Structure 1
């Protein structure tokens, strides 16, 4: 269990690394946020913006890597993830 700004974060390890996580936060509705691993978080976030996505969270560094969140009305939200190596 890791302390996070919006509550606690439970990391799930599946073999050789992080496989997922559950975070406690004050949303008004249940939220499922799939993550997609990318090699260059800034470039992929900007490419999503160019394709018409709204950037809900600009690239941000965390303990294990960088993430951003993008949204398209017809496709929902996804998080882009670049792990630290």
Structure 2
């Protein structure tokens, strides 16, 4: 990734875990710093938001700090490259 350039990819995965995992494993997006995911595959288990995958060797998960009390607790999330300087407060 070039210094001074921020590449963001946005994709609606339509709550499909296979699409979400495929996105994270796609070698063609290695130059992107952030993946903005709409309608992610995420569920609530023991009052915690569980995503597929829960973690990834190239990406760090950022999820909203508030959630809906429904089957699908979040409407969007982001993943940032492990080597980018981004954090969640």
Calculate the TM-score normalised by the size of structure 1: 0.29
Name the structure with the higher strand share: 1
Structure having greater relative contact order (Cα 8 Å, sep ≥ 6): 2
